[in-house]
Amino acid sequence: MDFHADPLPTISVTQLAALMADPPQDLQLIDVREPEEVAIAAIPGFEVLSLSQSAQWAEHISQRLNPAAPTYVLCHHGMRSAQMCQWLRSQGFEHVTNISGGIEAYSIAVDATVPRY
């Protein structure tokens, strides 16, 4: 992995909520948490692509998602989503953004009905 690449773009959870209120037609939302985490707390509209299951989806990622579309990645706190963002960029995805603070921050700042764990 090239750590000297451009810095990874990030978005706050409040900016994400505003974006989701009037989303672009081609918006792609990815949740990289594990299925048992998603069962506890999830945000509607996110496609679950668990990092631990990447062998099942990685090979076909460019057919499953549009590499030119805006892509936002979520996890619990923002670390795994940053890894996924870096990987997507290495696969030719052009507009990848990490959701800073993850679903934990979303629950605190945007929607308290989303359970925290």
Pick the CATH number of 10-109 from 3.40.50.300, 3.40.250.10, 3.40.462.10, 3.30.56.10: 3.40.250.10
Does 75 qualify as catalytic in the annotation? Answer: yes
Helices within the chain (DSSP H only): 13-21, 35-40, 54-57, 61-64, 79-90, 102-109
Separation of alpha carbons 95 and 76, rounded Å? 21
Structure tokens at 91: 């696969």
Distances (CA, A) of 95 to 15, 37, 55, 88, 114: 16, 26, 23, 9, 27
pLDDT, residue 5, reads 59
Angle (CA) 95-41-88 rounded to 5° is 20
The three-class DSSP label of residue 104 is helix
Q: Which member of 29, 75, 82, 88 is catalytic?
A: 75
Q: At what angle do helices 13-21 and 102-109 cross, to 10 degrees?
A: 70
Of 37, 71, 70, 72, residue with least CA distance to 52? 37
pLDDT, residue 6, reads 75
Per-10-residue mean pLDDT of the chain, 117 residues long, equals: 70 97 95 98 97 96 96 97 97 97 98 97
The three-class DSSP label of residue 99 is strand
